[in-house]
Structures are given as structure tokens and as C-alpha cells.
Structure 1
Amino acid sequence: MNPAKMTPPPIIPREKLDFGLDGDIPKYWLNGDPFKTRFFDALSTLFPVGERFFITCVRDFKDRTTDPKVLQDIKDFTRQEGQHGIVHTRYNDRLQAQGIAVKEILAGQEKRLFGIIRQHTSREFTLGITAAAEHITAIMADCFVERPEIFEGADDRIRALYVWHAMEEMEHKAVAFDVLQNIAKSTYRNRVGSMLLVTLLFPFHVFRIMKHMFEVDGFSRWQRTKIWAKGLWWLYKPGGLFSPMVGKYFSYLKPSFHPWQDPVVPSYDTWLRILKETGDPILAGNRLHGEQAWAHA
């Protein structure tokens, strides 16, 4: 599909959304499963600093940009990512109260992203990291909202939060890439090299954080071994969480790739309509696939 012939959805910053994160959310909120829950919990710990890194890397090229549309996209991207950081900080406050070393995790990520990577690589490379990470989060978002079984048995509030985050990732999925290609004039080597770094570091840090979480949770070594074995099968088995994303992941490596070769998912319009009609992000997230698919809608 030619991205030039598509009309991407507008990037809409949605602020002051209430997901009820101060409520009685179960510790293992995803169907009582420690691995599934802690996988998404670990993702959340990475978002506040990660979103700020993405904003910084895109804004590095703002002064080189003269196109009003691109400038507005950068502004809206910044506002959306800022809101993601705010909401996931509230999410992470729950984890801190459970004994998870959130402050230490954030400090370590701050050091890696801002103290090492931004200090020792080019601005084009850090923007490449941003575009690569945005591609991975966008294809993960596609998967989460189009496969209701992923969040089957989840707490309404957390599921709705991830659906909201996913929809906005789709809206702005091309911003960093377009700046990388059209403003930074990135080489193909820079694009692929930065993607390879993200591909290595992303699962490494997610799994490292999950390891810490399971230890804090008090699971024995044998219990942790069983949790990891079952959980990794859920992630990587045929038809598991990751395998349907493989084709879209590798499409990024094509020289002709553009994020809008894939449109937003079919459920985007439904979610947007319900949110506009009700103003309730929890209701929108949980009615997305209808009451039969979302058992708790």
C-alpha cells in the first residue's frame, strides 16, 4: 500500500484521562497470571523515561523543520508521549508500593539512555532508536487490540489503559520515522543499526526487570523456573504473543518501508467512537470487541 495514498488518522493528545489506578487493582491483574502481569508491569516501568527520551530525540530536529504539518505532528507527538509518561508514572506508583524498585529501575534507564547513549552516539542514531522503538510499540499495539485473548481475564482499568496507549501509538507511529528520513536524512545503515540495538536491549531489560519482580514477589527458585518456562512459551510459541508480529517487524528492514504501509487496526474507529460518545476511556477500552469478547466490559 502506498502511504502517499493513505489518510492517516489525526494525532489527538488526550489529557487528564482517569483509569482509576488508585483503586483496588489485583496484584496479578491479568487473569491471576504472574508472568503475564509482570510482563506488562515491566513494560510500564520503562515508559516514563523512554517516552521522555523519544520526545527529546525527535525535538533535536525541530529547528531544522520548516513544514508546518511536521511541526504540528512533532508537537502532538510530544503531548501524547508526555501523557503516556504521566499515566505510567501513576501505574508505577502501584508497583513501588508492592516493593518493586521502580526508582532504581528509572535511574538505571536514565543513565543508559541519557548518560551513555545520548552522550556517545549521534543525534541521527538516537532518533533511529526512537523510530525503531516506535515501530516495535506500534506493531505490539496492533497485536494487543486486535487479539482480545491477550487481555482475557484482565482488570478493566489496566486493559483500558493499554488499549488507550496502543491506539495513540498507532496515531503517531510515523512521526519519528518521517523526521528520521526526511529531516535527519538518515542512511539505511543508521536505520537498521539502531533497530538492531533496540531489538537486543528491549527484551533484555524487560526480562531483567521481571526477574527482579518475581524475586520481590517471593517465589522460590523452582517456582520462578516454572513461571519462566510457561511464560516464555506464551510469548514465543507459534501463535503466541510475538510470533504474529514477526512479519511486520522485518518489514522495517526493507529500504522502501514506511509505517503507513499498514493502516490503523479495524477496531480503532470503534474505540474512538465509544470514547467520543461516553468520554470514558475504561468503557471504551473494554467494549472494544463487544461484550462477548471482553468478559468484564
Structure 2
Amino acid sequence: MTPDPLRSAASAAAPSLPSGNPYALTVRKLEIDLSAGFDRHWHGGDAFLSQYLNALSMSFPVGEQSFIDAVRDCAKLLPRTPATAALHDAIAQFIGQEATHRHIHGLYNAQLEKQGLVNRWQHWATARIDYATKRGVGPRHFLAVTAAYEHLTAVLADHMLRHGDALGQADPKMQTLWRWHAAEETEHRAVAYDLYQALGGNHAWRIRWYAYALLLFCVDSGRQTALNLWRDGSLFKPATWWSATKYFWGKHGVVWHCTAPLLAYFRRDFHPDQEAVTAPGQQTSAIAQRWLKEHDESFRVVR
């Protein structure tokens, strides 16, 4: 892997940023108490759904920190001008939101450790980051990976927010945690992408890193979930496999809902804020903001 080969005609182009100020990011501190723990099968007694979401949580502290580092490092390369002021402000808010996610999922994961689960995902991710750093991979590559994961998580967040039954039977405080996280992922979904574009990142490298991120996510989430289910004693139960089948392939399954928006990232004219409206007033951003407004007692605005 050669260091930062993102040198193309696009690299010399002037920053391409959305007009006006399209960012409306708020840093919030979630007001829930995880110190008392939660049930092993907190998702309505469903082992698969509980352990799959637990697996995702295990990736966040390392993942969110890597995203913060990538955006912060590349923000230093973006000139401070009136044209880039909105993006610089959004970057500061993005970092604040990701830091709060990292913190709350650290508390979440501490409870999982008490339940006997072992977080391998954090070590797989750390090893890859360290390897890339030692190989001299440039900051824009890390930013491209961040933009890829931000789109992936935003698509999954949309599924969680749009379909009430995705968390309908879960422990109320866990519902709040996951929907708060999903709403904020929707809010800041374009920040890393816009910074990457402003710094001249090209389409070819963008989609290469996206394909890489999709593959890693599928592999890592699958094996961490399997490890969780094995330690939980439910890996080989028919109910576990039936739940997984419904989650991915059921009426509101992830495969049906997420495939098209995930593939949209490969388009040359893609932007994270492009939304397919399924019904009047049902844009993802509107759903997220409605949830935040209706549950503002669950968090405290920091800035």
C-alpha cells in the first residue's frame, strides 16, 4: 500500500462544499444510567437481536475514536475561509457527537464485560489501524474510510428509526440509547464526506475504501455476534437463527431496506444528504429530528 496516492486532477480543484450552512449539529449528553446493567437478552428476550447490537456497540469506542482522529487530522488541511467556515464548525460538532457516542458505548461495553462477553472487535480494528499507520497511509485515506463507515452507519440508523418494530420490544433505556445514536448519525452523516470532497478526494479511492469498509463490517459484525452468542449459550438454538433470518430477510429486513441506499454510495454523483422519500414527510432527517424533539427529556444539550 503506497502512502496517500490520492493525487489526481481533483486534488488541485477548489473545495466543493454545499452552499449556505447545511449542517445543524448539536452535541447532546444522554441522560440514562447504565450502572445498574441490563438483561442479557435486553431486546425483548431475543438472543440474536441483543447480541448483534451488543456486537455493534463493541466496535464503537475504537471506531469513533478513529473517526475523530481522521476528521481532526484532515481538518488541519482545509483552509479557513468564509467558504469553509460552516464545514469547520460542523467538524467541531461532529467530534463532540462522536466523543459522546464513544463514552456511552464504553459504559455499555463495560456492562457486557460483566456479563461474560469478550470484545474481540476492538482488537481487530486497533490492529488494522496500527498496521496502516506504520505503513504510512495518509490522512485522506483514513478520512475516506471514515466517510464510508459514516454512510454505512447512517443507512443502518435509518432502518432503526424508520421501523418502530426494530427496537419495539427492547428495554426502554436501550431503545433510547440506540435511537439517540441513530438520530445523531443521521445528523452528521455528511461531514466526513464533505471534508473528503473538499480536500480533493477522488471517486476511485472513495469507492475502493467503501468496498473495503463494507466487507470488513460484514465479517467483523458476523464473527463478533457469533462469539457473543456462543458465550451466551444461544448460538446453536433454532430461535436464534430464525431471528437472524427475520432481521435480515423479513418484511422490514435489513437486506430489503438497506441494499439500495448502500449501493448508492458507488454513484459518482452520490451525496449523503440525497434521500429517497418513501412517503410525504418521511425523509430520514425529518424522522430523526422528530424523535429528538419528542425525547428531549432523555438528553442534555452540551453545545
| TM range, smaller chain | 0.7 to 0.9
Kindly provide the CA deviation profile for residues 158-187 of structure 1, in whole angstroms up to 9, marking residues without a partner as x.
11001100111111111000011112x111
- Contact 1:6 1:260 survives alignment (8 Å): no
Which residue in the other structure is 1:10 paired with?
Answer: 24
Match of 1:182 among 170, 188, 198: 198
Higher RCO, 1 or 2 (CA under 8 Å, sep at least 6)?
A: 2
Q: What is the deviation of 1:9?
A: 5.2
- Scaled by the length of structure 1, the TM-score of the pair is 0.84
- Alpha-carbon distance in 2 for matches of 1:134, 1:74: 13
Identity rate, percent: 27
Kindly provide the CA deviation profile for residues 191-224 of structure 1, in whole angstroms up to 9, marking residues without a partner as x.
10000001100011111111111221134x742x
1:57 paired with 2:70, answer yes
Q: What is the deviation of 1:230?
A: 4.2
1:108 paired with 2:129, answer no
Q: What is the deviation of 1:4?
A: 5.1
Pairwise CA RMSD: 2.2
Match of 2:173 among 137, 157, 177: 157
Q: Once structures 1 and 2 are overlaid, which stretch shifts more, 21-30 or 205-214?
A: 21-30
Gapped regions of structure 2 (runs ≥ 5): 1-16, 276-282
User: Which amino acid is 1:25 matched to?
Assistant: F
Gapped regions of structure 1 (runs ≥ 5): 283-297
How many residue pairs get aligned? The number is: 272
- Alpha-carbon distance in 1 for matches of 2:127, 2:255: 29
- Contact 1:160 1:281 survives alignment (8 Å): no
Q: What is the deviation of 1:68?
A: 2.0
- Contact 1:145 1:163 survives alignment (8 Å): yes
User: Which amino acid is 2:110 matched to?
Assistant: D
Q: Once structures 1 and 2 are overlaid, which stretch shifts more, 143-152 or 66-75?
A: 66-75
Which residue in the other structure is 1:273 paired with?
Answer: 293
Change in Cα spacing, 1:212 to 1:47, as seen in structure 2 (3 Å) is same
Which residue in the other structure is 1:254 paired with?
Answer: 267
1:81 paired with 2:101, answer no
Change in Cα spacing, 1:6 to 1:252, as seen in structure 2 (3 Å) is farther
Which residue in the other structure is 2:155 paired with?
Answer: 139
- Alpha-carbon distance in 2 for matches of 1:222, 1:142: 30
Q: Once structures 1 and 2 are overlaid, which stretch shifts more, 192-201 or 61-70?
A: 61-70
1:171 paired with 2:191, answer no
User: Which amino acid is 1:52 matched to?
Assistant: Q
